Amino acid sequence: MKLLAYEKFDCIICLDSELPSLDVFQVLADIPIFAADGAVFELNKMHLNIEAVIGDLDTFDRNIKKNTVSNIKKIRINEQETNDFEKTLKYVLSKNYKNCLILGINGGELEHTLNNWSVYIKYSKLLNLCIYTKNRYGIILRENTELVLNKEEIVSLIPQPEALITTNNLYWELTKEKLELGVREGARNRARDSKVLIEIYNGEVLCFFDARLPNAPVLK
């Protein structure tokens, strides 16, 4: 049984898409930021300190003349088998970061969003990756987990692509029932208590709940 606890993030990865407002970054002020290629320009507009910009840097190169960006470390990775998100994840993994907050995973063209989700699922096996969007966290669950939440908090369980699960302390319980993309999802449930149990017999689910910035949800 894994227990969901909360620790501080040790890095932030920003993708070239819709990023949160400056006040979110102010809460995360002392955590290093890594920009995936073009995300560097939006971060620079907010006058944020950036540890490095990473990727093939094609967007960076196209836009650098009309944007003032200086004194930023550039990590250029030219191969085209991976996107800038995956290149950035590989880099932070090589630098021994562990609890990573992902910003800007959605927005822009839909295929970019879906591809980013696929990359996220792959690397969540190697890093503790948490998605943040609109004051909500998203993490992936692969084993029995006790969630530490607030009573009445909205909890969503989205199968990837399918999972057989049992829940305890949700308003609409599941008892060894199958969730499957294109068939049945588990969005917008609600916690009856501060501790919610998710038993996973097989498969995996993306679990969404309220954010606890600047702390990372960590399974222990």
Q: What is the pLDDT of residue 90?
A: 97
18-60 tens-digit pLDDT: 999 999 999 999 999 999 988 999 998 999 999 999 998 878 7
pLDDT surpassing 90 at residue 70: no
In a domain, 1, yes or no: no
94-130 tens-digit pLDDT: 999 999 999 999 867 888 889 999 999 999 999 999 9
Residue 154 domain boundaries: 139-219
The number of distinct structural domains making up the chain is: 2
Residues 35 and 93 in one domain: yes
* Higher per-residue confidence, 44 vs 168: 168
Residues 168 and 124 in one domain: no
How many helices, marked H, and strands, marked E, lie in the chain?
A: 5, 14
Parallel, antiparallel, or unpaired for β 52-55 and 74-76?
Answer: parallel
Model confidence band, residue 161 (pLDDT cutoffs 50, 70, 90): very high
Q: Give the three-state DSSP class for 203.
A: strand
CA distances from 144 to 20, 32, 152, 179 (A): 31, 31, 21, 16
In a domain, 17, yes or no: yes
Domain end among 101, 134, 167: 134
Say if pTM beats, i.e. exceeds, 0.75: yes
First vs last C-alpha separation in the chain = 9
Domain end among 134, 167, 194: 134
Residues 123 and 149 in one domain: no
Residues 186 and 115 in one domain: no
Domain end among 74, 104, 134: 134
Cβ pair 47, 68 in contact under 8 A: no
Cβ pair 212, 137 in contact under 8 A: yes
